[in-house]
């Protein structure tokens, strides 16, 4: 996606993610799940990585998305309850950033866990479907890309399923800020928010850049 909004320190009536527009992508699908983790953490120190935005970003990238080669933090910006974490490849050929992941605290407590809400995009974007829009299959996806001999892989995922709900590979693309589009059929959606992931690579690694956005199922 192009950019998710920056959040501010929430007041008593603020939405759990700091903005009504933001969507909970991962690791929690609801505020109740985030609060259940808080109780477990307070009583027994359960999964402390939820309090670290960088570890949450890497777990999202390697665990949920399955991009095992994207395994390092390339940049870090934390402003109160809002964080942007760059993730990249640990290879001799590159030290660049594959994506900048946007995270916010899920809840108002000081120990609220970090939640992925999207990515900030530059040379590879995912602008369709619109962030937070209602999804139906087949899903029309698209954006813009700068690159040479790119092949775009698009997946539709939900946290409760290990496998993608649908995917398309690989749409040829390239040039300077050129549009791309592909339609992806999917089935089995049951979570309230789905993740749409576009990735490209193949020059030095299977995944060299990626972008994510969030769509709603109802």
Confidence label for 203 from pLDDT (cuts 50, 70 and 90): confident
Averaged pLDDT, 78-89: 96
Measured CA angle at 28 (ends 27, 31), to 5 deg: 155
Residue 90 has pLDDT above 80, yes or no: no
Residue 5 lies in a domain: no
Q: What is the pLDDT of residues 69-79, one digit of tens each?
A: 999 999 999 99
Residue 11 has pLDDT above 50, yes or no: no
Confidence label for 92 from pLDDT (cuts 50, 70 and 90): low
**For position 165, which CATH number holds?**
2.60.40.2550
Residue 12 lies in a domain: no
Helix (H, G, I), strand (E, B) or coil at 7: coil
Residue 25 lies in a domain: no
Residue 5 has pLDDT above 60, yes or no: no
Residue 10 lies in a domain: no
Q: How far is CA 151 from CA 147, 170, 181, in A?
A: 10, 5, 12
Residue 1 has pLDDT above 70, yes or no: no
What one-character DSSP code corresponds to residue 42?
A: H
Q: What is the pLDDT of residues 98-126, one digit of tens each?
A: 999 999 999 999 999 999 999 999 999 99
What pLDDT, on a 0 to 100 scale, did the predictor assign at position 10? 43
Number of domains in the chain: 1
Residue 21 lies in a domain: no
Q: Which two tokens stand for residue 59?
A: 């777990």
Residue of 162, 158, 200 whose CA lies nearest to 182: 200
Domain residues for the domain of 99 are 31-216
Dihedral pair phi/psi, residue 48, rounded to 5°? -65, -15
| DSSP secondary structure string for all residues of 74-132 | EEEEEETTEEEEEEEE-BTTB--EEEEEEEEESSSSTTPPEEEEEEE-SSB---BSPTT
Q: What is the pLDDT of residues 135-155, one digit of tens each?
A: 999 999 999 999 999 999 999
Percent over 90 (pLDDT), the chain: 84
Q: Are strands 114-120 and 82-89 parallel, antiparallel or unpaired?
A: unpaired
Residue 91 lies in a domain: yes
Confidence label for 93 from pLDDT (cuts 50, 70 and 90): low
């Amino acid at each position: 996606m192009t950019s998710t909004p920056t959040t501010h320190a929430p007041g008593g009536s603020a939405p759990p993610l700091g903005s009504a527009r933001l969507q909970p992508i991962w690791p929690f699908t609801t505020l109740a799940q985030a609060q259940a983790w808080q109780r477990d953490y307070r009583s027994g120190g359960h999964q402390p990585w939820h309090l670290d935005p960088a570890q949450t970003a890497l777990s999202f990238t390697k665990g949920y998305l399955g991009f095992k080669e994207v395994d390092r933090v390339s940049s870090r910006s934390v402003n109160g309850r809002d964080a942007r974490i760059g993730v990249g490849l640990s290879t001799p050929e590159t030290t660049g950033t594959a994506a900048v992941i946007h995270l916010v605290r899920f809840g108002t407590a000081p120990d609220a866990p970090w939640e992925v809400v999207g990515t900030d995009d530059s040379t590879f974007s995912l602008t369709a479907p619109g962030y937070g829009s209602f999804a139906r299959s087949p899903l029309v996806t698209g954006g813009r890309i700068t690159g040479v001999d790119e092949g775009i892989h698009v997946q539709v995922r939900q946290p409760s399923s290990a496998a993608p709900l649908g995917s398309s590979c690989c749409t040829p693309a390239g040039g300077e800020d050129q549009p791309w589009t592909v339609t992806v059929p999917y089935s089995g959606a049951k979570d309230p928010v789905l993740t749409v992931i576009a990735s490209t690579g193949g020059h030095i690694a299977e995944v060299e850049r990626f972008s994510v956005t969030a769509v709603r199922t109802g």
